[in-house]
Structure 1
Amino acid sequence: MNYTLHQLEIFFKISQLKSITKTAEDLNLTQPAISIQLKKFQEQFPIPLTEYVGRKIHITAFGKEIAITAEKILNQVANISYKSQAYQGVIAGKLNISIVSTGKYVMPFFLADFLEKYPGIELTMDVTNKNEVIKNLEENLIDFAMVSVLPEHLDINRIELMRNELFLLGKEYPNNTKKTLTAEQFKSLKLIYREKGSATRQAMEQFINQHHIETNKKIELVSNEAVKQAVMSGMGYSIMPLIGTKNELKNKEVQIIPVEHLPIVTNWNLIWLSSKKQSPAAIALANYVKENKTEIIKKHFSWMEDKSFLS
C-alpha cells in the first residue's frame, strides 16, 4: 500500500462530512482534487470505502473502520508536531470543548486572546444541549465543558466564570399591564420551551414546578435562537438567559416581563473530569481563565450588571 497522509486526511474528512463539496470547502481544495485523491486512496483497497445512493455519498462499514484508523494515525502525527514544539518551549496541541448552546455568547470571549497568545493550539468547540455536553464529558471525549448546571454524578474540577440570569421575555406585556405578573396571569401565557435535555428548559420547568404553576399552552423549539425568534414574533413567552438577548432588548424587540421569584440565577462554570490527565494546552487554558476571568467579565459583560440600556 502506498497511500499518503494527505489522502488519509481527505478520506477522514469525507467520513465526517459525508460530502465531497463540504470536504473541499473545509480543506480549501477543489472538488476535482478531492475526488482524485479519494479515487487514488480507494485503489489501495479491494473493498469499497464509499458508495453512492442517488447523489449522496455514504461510508461503507469497511470505510468506517478505515476512518477510525485514519483518525488515530492523523492524531499521532499531530502529536509528533506538538511534542516537537513542546521541547522548544511552545505550548501546542488540540483542545476539545463542549458547551451548552447559550454558552456560545460567553465562551468565545474567554478564548479569543488565549488562542492569540498560543497560536499552536488547535480548538474544536461543540455547541449542543446540556445532556449531550455531559455525555461528552462523561465519555472523556473532551477536555472541558461549559455548563450552568453542574453534573452531580461526576467527580469534576471547575472554574466559576460568571452569573447566568434567566428572565421571562415577551414581545409585549400581557394585557398591556406593566405590573408584576401573578401566578394566575403566568398560567394563562402561551409558553415556548426549549427541547428536552436543555438546561434552559430544566430551569424553566423547575421554576414552574416549585411555584405550583399549572400551564396549558405550550410550544417546543430546538435552540435558543429559535425560541428567541418565536418570542420576537409574538408567538408566546419564554424564560430565557439574559446573555443571549442583549441586542433584542436594547432594540425593544423583546421585553423583560416582571414575574415574582424571577430572575433565576445560576453560574457559568468551566468544568473537567477530576481524573483526567490534562494536556499542556488544557493546563494553559485553565490557568489563563483563572488569571484573566475578572478582567474579561468586566470588559465584555459589565452591561449585565447595570442593565442601563433597558431603560
Structure 2
Amino acid sequence: MNYTLHQLEIFHRIAKLKSVTKASEELFLTQPAVSIQLKKFQEQFKIPLFEVVGRKIYITEFGEEIALAAASILEEVRAINYKALSFQGELAGKLKISIVSTAKYAMPFFLADFIKENSGVDLIMDVTNKAEVIRALENNNVDFAMVSTLPKKLKINSIKLMENRLHLVGGKDYTHSGKYISNTNFEELPLIYREQGSATRNAMERFIASQKISTYKKMELTSNEAVKQAVIAGVGFSIMPLIGIKNELKNGDLQIIPVKKLPIISNWNLIWLSSKNMSVIAKEFKNHIETSKDRVMDLHFNWFDKY
C-alpha cells in the first residue's frame, strides 16, 4: 500500500463529517481535489470504505475502522511535530478555547498575531452558546473561554478585553419620530430572540422586564447570524450586540433604533478556572493577551465610538 498522510487526513475528515463538501471546506481545498484523493485512497483497498447513495456518502464498517486508525496515526504525527518544535525552542501543542457565538466577531483579532508567531500551536476553538461554554470550562475541557457575563458559580480568573454593547436593531425601512421610540411603539414591534442559554437572550429579557414592557415574540433563532438576516429581511426586530453588525450598519441594511436605557453595556472577558494548571502555551497566550489587547482594540474596534 502506498497511501499518504494527506490522504489519511482527507478520509478522516470525510468520515467525521459524512460530506466531501464539508471536508473540503475545513481543509481549504477544492471539492474536486478532495474527491481525487479520496478515490486514490480507496484504490489502496479491495474492500469499500464508503458508499454513495443519492447525494449522500455513507462510511462502511470497514471504513469506520480505517477512520479510527487514521485518527490515531494523525495524532501520533502531530505529537512528533510538537516534540520536534519543542526541541527547537518553539511553542508546540494545542490551545483550546470555547467562545459564545457573538464572540466570533472579536476573538480572531486577539488570536491572530499569537497564531502567526507560533506556527507549532494548533488552535481548537468551539463556538457555541453561553451554557455550553461554561460547561466546557467547568469540565476542564478548554484552556480559556470568552464570555460577556461572568459565571457566578465558578472560581475564575479573567482579563477584560473590550466593551459589549447591545442595541435595539431594525431593518432599513423602519421609521420613527422623536429622539427615542416610546414604550408603546416598542410593544408593537415583533421581536426575534436568541435560543435559551444565550447570554444575548438573557440580557434582552432582563432589559424588557426591567422596563415593564409588554412584548410578543415573533420567533426564536439559534445563532446571531440567523437573527441578523431575519432583521435585515424585515421579519422583526431584536436587541443585538454591536460587534456583529458593523458591515450591515455601514451598508445601511440595519439601523440602530434609539431606546431609553439602551445600549446595554457589559464587557467581553477572557476567563479560565482559578485552579487550572496552565500549559506553557496557555501561559504564553495569557501573557500575549495582557500585552496586546489595547493595541488590538485601537486597531480593529475604534469604529465602536461612532455608535
How far has the Cα of 1:69 moved from its partner?
5.7
Matched, 1:34 2:38: yes
Within-5 A mapping of 1:221-300: 221-300=221-300
Shift of 1:252: 3.3
CA distance in 1: counterparts of 2:215 and 2:100, whole angstroms: 26
Deviation at 1:99, TM superposition (A): 1.9
Unaligned runs of 5+ in 2: none
Q: State the superposition RMSD in angstroms.
A: 3.0
C-alpha change, 1:160 and 1:60, in structure 2 (3 Å) is farther
Give a deviation string over 1:59-82, Cα, whole Å, max 9, x none: 467765764564344223312221
1:106-146 deviation digits (Å, cap 9, x = unpaired) = 11111122222212222233323223333333343333221
Q: Report the Cα distance in structure 2 between the residues aligned to 1:202 and 1:266, rounded to whole angstroms.
A: 13
Q: Using the alignment, how far apart are the partners of 2:257 and 2:300 within structure 1? A: 25
Tell me by how many angstroms 1:270 deviates. Answer: 1.4
Letter in 1 for 2:236: G
Taking the aligned partners of 2:155 and 2:49, their CA distance within structure 1 comes to: 41
Count of residue pairs the alignment pairs up = 303
> Once structures 1 and 2 are overlaid, which stretch shifts more, 54-63 or 215-224?
54-63
Relative to the length of structure 1, the TM-score reads 0.83
CA distance in 2, matches of 1:41, 1:202: 53
1:105 alignment partner in structure 2? 105
For residues 76-115 of structure 1, the aligned pairs below 5 Å read 76-115=76-115
Provide closer, same or farther for how the CA distance between residues 87 and 256 of structure 1 changes in structure 2, counting only shifts above 3 A: same
Tell me the secondary structure at the aligned position of residue 161 of structure 2.
strand
Cα deviation for residue 22 of structure 1 reads 4.3
CA distance in 2, matches of 1:285, 1:32: 39
Q: Do residues 171 (structure 1) and 171 (structure 2) align? A: yes
Q: CA deviation at 1:238?
A: 1.0
Q: Residue 257 of structure 1: CA displacement? A: 1.7
Aligned-partner Cα distance in 1 for 2:251–2:218: 27
Report the Cα distance in structure 2 between the residues aligned to 1:17 and 1:49, rounded to whole angstroms: 15
* Alignment partners' CA distance in 2, 1:249 and 1:80: 47
The letter for the 1-side match of 2:152 is E
**Distance in 1 of aligned mates of 2:167 and 2:284:** 35
Partner of 1:188: 188
Q: 1:303 to 1:21 in 2, by over 3 A?
A: closer
Q: 1:83-109, CA deviations, whole angstroms, 9 ceiling, x for partnerless residues?
A: 221122111222232222211211111
Aligned-residue offset at 1:148: 0.9
Contact kept in structure 2, 1:231 and 1:237, CA below 8 Å: yes
Deviation at 1:4, TM superposition (A): 6.9
Q: Verify the 8 A CA contact 1:42 1:49 in the aligned structure 2.
A: no
The one-letter code sitting in structure 2 at the alignment partner of 1:94 is K
Counterpart CA distance in 2 for 1:272 and 1:61 is 40
Deviation at 1:49, TM superposition (A): 6.0
Once the two structures are aligned, what percentage of the paired residues are identical? Answer: 56
Is 1:206 matched with 2:206? yes
TM-score normalized with structure 2 length:
0.84
CA gap of 1:42–1:224, structure 2 versus 1, over 3 A, is farther
**CA shift for structure 1 position 13:** 1.6
Mean Cα deviation higher: 283-292 or 214-223: 214-223
Are 1:116 and 2:116 an aligned pair?
yes
Name the SS for the 2:216 alignment partner: coil
Number of the residue aligned with 1:138:
138
Distance in 1, Cα, partners of 2:21 & 2:247:
35
Query: CA offsets per residue over residues 31-55 of structure 1, 9 Å max, x none?
Result: 1321332453675xxxx86555544
Closer, same or farther: CA 268–27 of 1 in aligned 2, 3 Å: closer
The CA deviation string for residues 259-282 of structure 1, in whole angstroms up to 9 with x for no partner, is 222111111111233344333222
- The residue identity in structure 1 corresponding to 2:36 is P
Q: Distance in 2 between matches of 1:133 and 1:268?
A: 14
- After TM superposition, the structure 1 stretch with the greater mean CA deviation from structure 2, 81-90 or 287-296, is 81-90
Q: 1:274 to 1:8 in 2, by over 3 A?
A: farther
* CA distance in structure 2 between the partners assigned to 1:159 and 1:39 by the alignment: 52
Asked whether the 8 Å contact 1:95–1:282 carries over to 2, the reply is yes
Rounded Cα–Cα distance in structure 2 between residues aligned with 1:12 and 1:156: 36
Amino acid at match of 2:15: S
